[in-house]
Amino acid sequence: MGNREIFGRARKFLPGGVNSPVRAFKAVGCEPIVLVRGEGPKVWDADGKEYIDFLSSWGPLILGHSHPEVIKAVKEATEKGLSFGLTNPYEVEIAELVVEGVPSVDKVRFVNSGTEATMSAVRLARGFTGRRYVLKFEGCYHGHYDSLLVSAGSGVATFGIPGTPGIPEEIAKLTIVVPFNDKEAVKEAFSRYGEEIACVIVEPVAGNMGVVPPEEGFLEFLRDITSKHGSLLIFDEVITGFRLSFGGAQELFGVSPDLTCLGKVLGGGMPVGAYGGREEIMSKVAPEGPVYQAGTLSGNPVAMASGLATLKFLKEKDPYAELDERTKTLAEGVSRILSEKGVPHTVNRVGSMMTVFFTEEKVKDFETAKTSDTEVFGRFFRSLLNKGVLIPPSQFEAWFVSVAHTEEVIEEALLRIEEAVREL
């Protein structure tokens, strides 16, 4: 069965035919494809069409698809059993690597998704500080936890409003939403609610409005103002963790949060999330402390084996400079192609994550990201798909480059993109 048949059946049994909304391709105006195989930098759909893949499963596959060392580790773990419900050696070994690699983390708790990681970190921050309010940034996405699925209220630094039906206003009002990179708005929020703010949660490099780096000094500013007011600083490194460097964005920018949320690369393609921080805070997590959080499959041996193999490779091979170089070549190549065609655009890139925005404005927050022409993005996406290049099916997401994207693969991708843009 091909894409159309499989997706037709999917619509019968799954809301929108998917298990996560963005996979329905609603933002790009074409029928979704169904992926059946991945190897290295490539994926194949149910019609047998091959794509060079920059979606990369939304970030986890920094080693590319089906990396032999990861597959071997998963097979070995699987043959010993899928789950025990008690501690297993894999979760201890990977915890040691996380503590060793992520500068601000003394102790870590594994969960099964990035959402669970951020949800647990916010609960811990509230439990640790005894405060109720959370401050987040417009355009940053931290998973679908009620307190974080909140949109900006009217006016700057005001209480949030539910980002979706199903979230009571009483909960949304405990979240203050301000623009990313806006120091004045953060100062305003702290001057109004400072001593009641449990935590500030931020993607240190935003990936969910498209890639938007922090402006010079912004992360340091957040570190200072939270310390001054006794609030905790939470870095949501679900995308950037082990992606931008082995120590993540906090190592790259030299700013230490109080809590770090991890996911994606941490599981190497299997369902893994984690939150961690210094001993004083993490000791409040049950059963050591009173803040409750639990999970049947947390620390699952097969998922841990996948993440462990991935992290071991990254630690030993340290591919980050190469990943940066390759992605620079890709970003510059795409920009050259669009400029030659006279298409207004701007490219934001940090390491091996990048976004092509169809606007001439400098994209520094969600407002400027939204000046992108999403109709042009849709045409761009469909043309690339047609020529065998898969990018995320949304303007407000990040392309990812893996170690499997060799120089030759990047060159081939640019040839396909050039052909696609010619037909735009």
Instruction: Mark 251-280 with x for binding to ligand KE4 (rule: CB under 6 A) and - for no binding.
Output: ------------x---------x-------
- Cβ distance to ligand KE4 smaller for residue 269 or 378: 269
Between the CA of residue 396 and those of 124, 127, 311, 356, 423, what are the distances in Å? 29, 33, 27, 9, 23
Is residue 308 a contact residue for ligand KE4 (CB under 6 A)? no
3-state secondary structure 359-420: CCCCCCCHHHHCCCCHHHHHHHHHHHHHHCEECCCCCCCCEECCCCCCHHHHHHHHHHHHHH
Which CB sits closer to ligand KE4, 121 or 337?
A: 121
Q: Does 208 engage in binding with ligand KE4 (CB under 6 A)?
A: yes
Residues 15-29 as b/e (b if ≥16 CB within 10 A, e otherwise) read eebbeeebbbbebbe
Residue 113 sits in the site that holds ligand KE4 (CB under 6 A): yes
Q: Does 114 bind ligand KE4 (CB under 6 A)?
A: yes
- Residue position matching structure tokens 């996380």: 98
The separation between CA 252 and the C-alpha centre of its own chain, rounded to angstroms, equals 16
What letter represents residue 351's amino acid?
G
**236 catalytically annotated:** yes
**Could you tell me which residues come within 8 angstroms of residue 422 by beta carbon, excluding any fewer than 6 positions away?**
341
27 near ligand KE4, judged by CB under 6 A: no
Look at strands 399-400 and 353-357 and give their pairing: antiparallel
Stretch that binds ligand KE4, among 103-111, 234-242, 303-311, 399-407 (CB under 6 A): 234-242
Query: Could you say which of 182, 203, 251, 365 contacts ligand KE4 (CB under 6 A)?
Result: 203
Rounded to an integer, what distance in angstroms lies between the CA atom of residue 196 and that of residue 229?
9
By beta carbon distance, the residue nearest ligand KE4 is 114
What does the chain come to in residues? 424
157 conformational bin, left if phi > 0, alpha if psi -120 to 50, beta if neither: left
> Of 114 and 248, which has the nearer Cβ to ligand KE4?
114
- Closest contact distance (angstroms) between CB of 23 and ligand KE4 is 6
**Residue 258 Cβ vs ligand KE4, minimum distance, rounded to whole Å:** 17
Least distance from C-beta 272 to ligand KE4, angstroms? 9
The residue from 141, 253, 275, 381 that contacts ligand KE4 (CB under 6 A) is 141
Stretch that binds ligand KE4, among 36-44, 74-82, 108-116, 412-420 (CB under 6 A): 108-116
- Please select the residue that binds ligand KE4; options are 104, 115, 181, 226, rule is CB under 6 A: 115
User: Rounded to 5 degrees, what are φ and ψ at 197?
Assistant: -90, 115
Structure letter (DSSP) for residue 148: G
Please confirm, yes or no, whether 141 is among the known catalytic residues. Answer: yes
Instruction: Identify the residue among 239, 274, 330, 401 touching ligand KE4 (CB under 6 A).
Output: 239
Count of Cβ atoms closer than 10 Å to residue 170 Cβ: 8
Interface pick for ligand KE4 out of 17, 41, 143, 269 (rule CB under 6 A): 143
Q: Which is nearer to ligand KE4, 238 or 338 (CB)?
A: 238
User: Catalytic pick from 53, 182, 236, 258?
Assistant: 236
CB of 136 to ligand KE4, least distance (A): 11
Vertex 394 angle, CA 11 and 116, to 5°: 75
| Secondary structure in 3-state letters for 76-116 | HHHHCCCCCCCCCHHHHHHHHHHHHHCCCCCEEEEECCHHH
Interacting positions 28-87 with ligand KE4 (CB under 6 A): 58
Which two tokens mark 236? Answer: 């949501």
Helices and strands: H and E segment counts in the chain: 14, 17
Enumerate residues 356-415 that contact ligand KE4 by CB under 6 A: 397
Q: Pick between residue 24 and residue 73 the one whose CB is nearest to ligand KE4.
A: 24
* CA 81/CA 86 separation, integer angstroms: 12
**Which residue number, 94 or 338, has a Cβ lying nearer to ligand KE4?**
94
Known catalytic residues are 141, 236, 264
- Interface ranges with ligand KE4 (CB under 6 A): 20, 22, 58, 113-115, 118, 141-143, 203, 207-208, 236, 238-239, 263, 273, 397
